[in-house]
């Protein structure tokens, strides 16, 4: 079970803490395949333990499917502008992979991380939608999904969102429209960093995938070689046959070790890297929202100026439309003030979020790379010890 601990989601108290300390612990467990054919899907048990007074009790168990997690992400993205909403794992459309044991476990682990990041976030954990997700019955969730879907874009769409917004706010149309962009050096630096980080993380994840593949291929090769060596041993007698047999056994043992290490490498190294690629794409979606909010603020400011000029003209001419124009001007000015507050809120939240993101990334990447190095050292020692133990027996079969 993954609780709201600092290694993944920031610091919080566990259920073992004194009752005076607030805690919210969530675990995503027991994936089960339901249905057949194109209607088949995986359900998960979501277990919540908390002493938050807003919840129905100290423990609640509900059944959720992937689309329920999507609903939660949609709702949070719509309501919490400026906050980096945790990413979801991609939805596989390839039938032979979609229900494989490895894919299901990776999906379960990623969903567990997703919901715990929300549960540990000081603002998101107060969300009414999170409480609904963690407590509502299946029928209620189905109704909510049916009425409210598609707000949050999939990771594959985030890059396009960003490009679309950038195009809207920066294009100059026939020289009549000035580009509407923030002239903030620190913000430009942040955007550059995020794009660079995405590229570097994606490159690291690609090579981590190759390492996993290499471990698996080497493990399979050793297994095949081990079988061949044991068969060769049965054809020989005395010491040579025994040496071949033991060589085959060692090869098969090392094959198992390599396959296990490949699985650990996948779950504890490649997947965390992939998760952070998705996290950066989520940040880019927030950057796009900020650009959109800035554009709206600027457009409203220009419209308010025009309305003010028009109102002054009407007042000078003592037009009978002054009252109507004054009303429109006040409404538009209030809308402009709200747009400014919305933009300033996004800016403030993003500043806080990037600090939190950096701290969390430092912790998580530190753990991932430490586990990677430890696993490789462990594997190298196992391989060296295995081959070294065979040397005396093989040397006894060699001519002097």
Predicted TM-score (pTM) of the model is 0.81
Specify whether domain 185-396 bears CATH 3.40.50.2000: no
| H helix runs in the chain, sequence order | 66-79, 95-98, 101-120, 128-135, 138-147, 155-170, 185-235, 238-265, 271-316, 322-396
Position 179 scores a pLDDT of: 54
| Side-chain-side CA neighbours of residue 143 (13 Å) | 5
CB 68 within 8 A of CB 91: no
Q: How do residues 235-292 score in pLDDT, each as one tens digit?
A: 887 888 888 999 999 999 999 999 999 999 999 999 999 999 999 999 999 999 999 9
CATH number of 24-145: 3.30.1520.10
Position 243 scores a pLDDT of: 87
Position 355 scores a pLDDT of: 95
Q: 185-396: same fold as 24-145? A: no
Position 127 scores a pLDDT of: 95
DSSP H or E stretch at residue 43: strand 41-50
Q: How is the chain split into domains, by residue range? A: 24-145, 185-396
Distance separating alpha carbons of residues 264 and 360, to the nearest angstrom: 21
User: Nearest CA to 31 among 135, 109, 131?
Assistant: 109
Give the tokens for residue 357: 């993101």
- Residues lower than pLDDT 70 in the chain: 1-20, 92-97, 148-179, 398-400
């Amino acid at each position: 079970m993954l609780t709201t601990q600092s290694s993944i989601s920031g610091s919080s108290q566990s259920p073992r803490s004194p009752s005076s300390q607030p805690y919210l612990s969530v675990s995503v467990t027991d994936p089960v395949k339901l249905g057949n054919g194109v209607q088949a899907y995986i359900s998960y048990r979501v277990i919540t333990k908390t002493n938050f007074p807003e919840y129905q009790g100290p423990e609640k168990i509900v059944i959720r499917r992937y689309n329920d997690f999507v609903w939660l992400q949609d709702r949070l993205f719509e309501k919490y502008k400026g906050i980096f909403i945790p990413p979801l794992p991609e939805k596989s459309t390839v039938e032979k992979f979609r229900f494989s044991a490895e894919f299901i476990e990776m999906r379960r682990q990623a969903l567990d991380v997703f919901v715990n990041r929300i549960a540990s976030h000081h603002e998101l954990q107060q969300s009414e939608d999170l409480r609904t997700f963690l407590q509502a019955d299946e029928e209620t969730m189905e109704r909510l999904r049916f009425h409210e879907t598609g707000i949050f874009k999939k990771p594959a769409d985030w890059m396009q969102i960003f490009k679309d917004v950038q195009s809207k706010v920066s294009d100059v149309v026939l020289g009549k429209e000035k580009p509407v962009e923030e002239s903030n050096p620190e913000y430009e630096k942040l955007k550059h960093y995020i794009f660079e980080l995405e590229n570097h993380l994606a490159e690291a994840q690609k090579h981590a995938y190759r390492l996993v593949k290499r471990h698996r291929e080497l493990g399979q090769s050793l297994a095949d070689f081990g079988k061949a060596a044991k068969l060769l041993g049965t054809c020989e007698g005395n010491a040579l046959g025994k040496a071949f047999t033991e060589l085959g056994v060692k090869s098969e043992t090392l094959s198992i070790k390599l396959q296990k290490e490949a699985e650990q490498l996948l779950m504890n190294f490649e997947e965390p890297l992939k998760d952070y690629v998705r996290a950066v794409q989520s940040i880019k979606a927030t950057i796009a929202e900020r650009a959109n909010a800035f554009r709206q603020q600027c457009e409203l400011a220009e419209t308010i100026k025009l309305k003010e000029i028009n109102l002054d003209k009407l007042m000078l001419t003592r037009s009978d439309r002054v009252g109507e124009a004054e009303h429109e001007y006040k409404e538009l000015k209030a809308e402009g003030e709200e747009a400014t507050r919305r933009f300033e809120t996004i800016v403030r939240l993003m500043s806080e979020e990037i600090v939190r993101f950096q701290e969390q990334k430092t912790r998580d990447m530190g753990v991932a790379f430490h586990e990677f190095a430890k696993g490789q050292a462990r594997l190298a020692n196992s391989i060296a010890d295995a081959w070294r133990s065979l040397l005396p027996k093989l040397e006894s079969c060699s001519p002097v």
